[in-house]
Structures are given as structure tokens and as C-alpha cells.
Amino acid sequence: MEAYIEISYLVASLSFVFGLKMMGHPDSARKGNLLAAVGMFLAILLTVFLYQKNGHGLHNYAWIFTAIVIGTVLGAVSAKKVDMKAMPQMVSLFNGMGGACAAVISVVEFTYNEGLKTGSLMSTTALVILLGTIIGSISFSGSMIAFGKLQGYKAIEKPVTFPGQFFVNNLFLLASIVLGVMVMMKSNQAEASMLFYALFGTALLYGILFVLPIGGADMPVVISLLNSFTGMAAAFAGFLYGNKVMLTGGILVGSAGTILTVVMCKAMNRSLANVIFGGFGTASGEAAAGGAGGVYKEISPSDAAMLLKYSSKVVIVPGYGLAVAQAQHAIHEMDKLLEAEGVEVKYAIHPVAGRMPGHMNVLLAEADVPYPKLCEMDDINPDFPSTDVVIVVGANDVVNPAAKRDKSSPIYGMPILEAEEAKNIIVLKRGRGAGYAGIENELFFNDKTKMLFGNAKDTITQLVSEIKSV
């Protein structure tokens, strides 16, 4: 029987690996997701029915399957109903639940593990439990704060800062580590338990303080970082139970999240420490017409349609505003209409556009935009000088030339999509406010830039109608 379990766990682990590989390309992403889900379902069934600990299996099947059914229904309904602008919140929420599970596993094991009750706490098992508690708790509470920021809760939407915050945050982190060491040094179980629950609470508080001062423009990095924390916590749980498939899944999630975090920090030309402690997104800028940047120059939908129809090359730069307006289908319709007129159309994707990693890729994939038309920043930047029209739809900071020229700007040094190099620039924007980073965009006052204000979906629908009538 043991051999069958190990082989089945190997099959489930391989499904995670191949599923993750398939998710790297939109054409196979859905199949990859399904493959990984089948592997997870297999792993759950094997664990429920065949898992043994100290010669005993699981017997509380009613509770287990009730929880599985409730979670499945809630997850399926939520995923079905969520719109693309709320997808980052859902990712944060689901990630937080993963961190919470890992933390609860550690708490339960510390409380009921027979080896800890009868033996020394200075052991590998105790260390793994403590690490799982700290990392899982930080992931849970941090993800909940990220969810609140993305959801727009006014009390925490903007960076929350106070004097001495750096010191206080690090004090909580240090306290968690010190408490962990003290727990392992205790021989009295009752005293160790008090310190352990103090550690649990301290880690939860640190997770809150960790995310509170981070601005909205850094949310993609924060989400991927917290995702890596959840993966590590799950890996510790797998190690704790000797469950190889849980260990494999946790390692994959943790390593993927870590790599993605590093890639995104590189795309912003900032260190991870700067993201966490730099307070990015706290700057306030004036984006009103006639402000320090200059005066907006507007264009009518009919003139914009004429310019687009008689162009040779058009590049579309999508941003969070595209998701808010749910305009991905409309932009794809315009894209197809222009291509029918002989216009070459591409999409320029910045690594941190949107509110989560890959937000724009997922958004455009939902509208069936062909993947080859989505170009990464380094690939598309050389094309801008030969581009007749760049259409910026709801993007702001990722096309702001201040990142290249203004050393006082919070985004100085961040690689951007060089839309200013195009021959003509049309910006679709809801209003005259600043972007999510809270700073003014020089591009909007460029002599080549024309503004189209209003809801992006309505504006693009107008453009489609005008292009057809030209």
C-alpha cells in the first residue's frame, strides 16, 4: 500500500510541475490549470483516505468533506462572479486563506503533537512548526491588508505611515524571532505554549504593519511576495507531515513567487527592501489641467478615429483603467477593425501594469486577444519611434517620462514603456487625477499627446463606430 501512495503522490507532484509549465503560455494555460487541479484533487483524496500517523488514519470524514464542499462552492461562485478589476483582490484573499491554513496547521501541531509534549522542544519538528506559524501568519494578515487596499477601504487604501514606523516594524519581526528561540529553549510545556501564542499574535501584527505603509503602485510586488510566503509555509507543513506532494506544491509556489518578485523589482529598478520600506506611492501630484505640467490638449472621437484608420502601425498600452471600465472586449473589437483596414496593431505590456502580476495578460486573454500580439516592454520599446499612434488606455505611471528625467520623482529609474517616442499619442482617461502612484504624468502634456476623457469602454465603442463610418 505504501508504494501505491508514493507513486500516486509522485503523479500528483508531476501534475503540478507540468501544469505550472503549461501556465507559462496562454494557449495552454487553461489546460495546465486543469491538470494541476486534477493533481490537487488526487492528492486530497489520497491524504484523506490513506494518510496514517502513528498507525492511525483519519476518521472525521463528515467534517472534512463538509468543509471541502463549502470551500469548493464558495470558491467556484466567487471566481465565476468576480470581474477583472477585482481579480487582484481575489488573488490576495485566496492567498491569505492559504497562509491561514498553514498557520493553523502549525498551531494545531504545536498544541497536540505527541513528540513535543513528551520530548524536547529543541528539535527540527519544533523549528518547522515555528517557521510555519510565523510565515503563514504574516502571509494571512498581510494579504488581508492588501485585499483591503485593493478593495479601496478608505482607512488603509493609501500608505499608512507614522513616526518611527521602520523601528516598530522591525521590532515586531525581531520579537517573533526571539519568541521562537525562547519557545525552543523552554522545557515546561505550559510556559512554552504561552510564548508560542504570543509569537502567533506578534507575527499576525507584523503582517499588518508590513503591508500598511506600502503604496498601491507596489501592490503587484507585494502580492507576489506574499504568495511566496504562503508557498514556504505550505512547504513547511508538508515537511512536518512527511507529505511529499504538499512539500512539492509549497516549494513550487514559494519559488515561483520569489522569482516573480525579483523580476518585478528589477522591472521597477528597485530593491525589495526599497519596496517594503521606501513608502512608494506616497507622493502627491497635481494632474489637473493648467497645473505645473501644462495644459491638456483634447481630441474628438471622430478625429481620433481618422488618425487611427489611416495609420500603418498602432500600439495599445493597457492599464488598470481598462480593467475598471471592462473595456477589453471593446479594445479587441477596435483592434480587429483596424487590422481589417491594414493597420498593424500590437499591445505593449509593462511588467507591473495593473494591480497584480500578469493582470493585463489575463485581462486581454479573457477577450481572446492573440498572445503573439502582446509584447513585453523590452521587445516593444524599440518599435515606438516607428509607431504612428500609441493609444494609452487607463495606464499612467508605466508611461511617465519622469521615470527617466526627474531625479526627484518617486519612480525615477523605473524602466517605462517609451510611448513618448511615438509620432502621435492618444490617452484614454476617466478624469484629470493622478495615477495610482499619486504623481503627475509628463506624457499627458507632451505636444504629441491628445486626451480623450471618459469611460474607456464608452470611448472605445465610439471610436469603433467612427472608424466604421470613416
Summarised one tens digit per residue, pLDDT across range 132-156 is 999 999 999 999 999 998 888 888 8
Query: Residue 228 pLDDT more than 80?
Result: yes
As a whole number, mean pLDDT of residues 101-115 equals 88
As a whole number, mean pLDDT of residues 250-277 equals 81
Amino acid identity of 243?
A: N
Amino acid identity of 259?
A: I
- What does the block give as the cell for 5? 501512495
Q: Tens of pLDDT along 299-347?
A: 999 999 999 999 999 999 999 889 889 999 999 999 999 999 999 999 9
Q: Which residue has the cell 500609441?
A: 390
Selected residue with higher pLDDT from 283 and 91: 91
Burial letters 25-47, b for 16+ CB under 10 A, else e: ebeebeebeebbeebbebbeebb
Q: How high is the pLDDT of residue 434?
A: 62
286 band by pLDDT with thresholds 50, 70 and 90: very low
Contact assessment for residue 232 and residue 250, using Cβ atoms and an 8 Å cutoff: yes
As a whole number, mean pLDDT of residues 349-374 equals 88
Q: Tens of pLDDT along 15-50?
A: 999 998 898 777 788 899 999 999 998 888 888 877
SS3 108: helix
Maximal C-alpha separation, the chain? 83
Among the residue ranges 195-204, 282-291, 363-372, 397-406, the one predicted with the least confidence is: 282-291
251 band by pLDDT with thresholds 50, 70 and 90: very high
Query: Residue 57 pLDDT more than 70?
Result: no
The rounded distance, in Å, linking the Cα atoms of 193 and 45 is 33
Look at the alpha carbons of 323, 325, 329, 334 in this order and tell me if their dihedral is positive or negative.
Answer: negative
Q: How high is the pLDDT of residue 54?
A: 55
Q: How high is the pLDDT of residue 283?
A: 42
Query: Residue 431 pLDDT more than 60?
Result: yes
Among the residue ranges 152-156, 279-283, 291-295, the one predicted with the least confidence is: 279-283
Q: How high is the pLDDT of residue 55?
A: 57
53 band by pLDDT with thresholds 50, 70 and 90: low
Query: Residue 188 pLDDT more than 80?
Result: no
Query: Which residues pair with residue 56 across a beta bridge?
Result: 53
Q: How high is the pLDDT of residue 289?
A: 38
Q: How high is the pLDDT of residue 352?
A: 84
DSSP state of 354: S
Q: Which of 253, 201, 217 is nearest to 232 (CA)?
A: 253
Q: What share of the chain is helix, strand, coil (3-state, %, to 5)?
A: 65, 10, 25
- Nearest 5 degrees, angle CA 364-CA 255-CA 269? 65
Q: Tens of pLDDT along 150-183?
A: 888 888 888 888 888 888 988 999 999 999 999 9
Among the residue ranges 174-183, 217-226, 288-297, the one predicted with the least confidence is: 288-297
Q: What is the DSSP string of 36-56?
A: HHHHHHHHHHHHHHH--BTTB
Query: Which residues pair with residue 392 across a beta bridge?
Result: 317, 427
**φ, ψ (nearest 5 deg) of residue 159:** -55, 130
Selected residue with higher pLDDT from 74 and 470: 74
285 band by pLDDT with thresholds 50, 70 and 90: very low
Positions annotated as catalytic residues are 397
Q: Tens of pLDDT along 406-430?
A: 888 777 888 899 999 999 999 998 8
Q: How high is the pLDDT of residue 119?
A: 66
| Cα–Cα distance list, 111 to 53, 105, 132, 159 (Å) | 16, 10, 14, 37
Whole-model pTM over 0.75:
yes
The rounded distance, in Å, linking the Cα atoms of 355 and 174 is 30
> In the predicted model, what is the mean pLDDT of the chain?
86
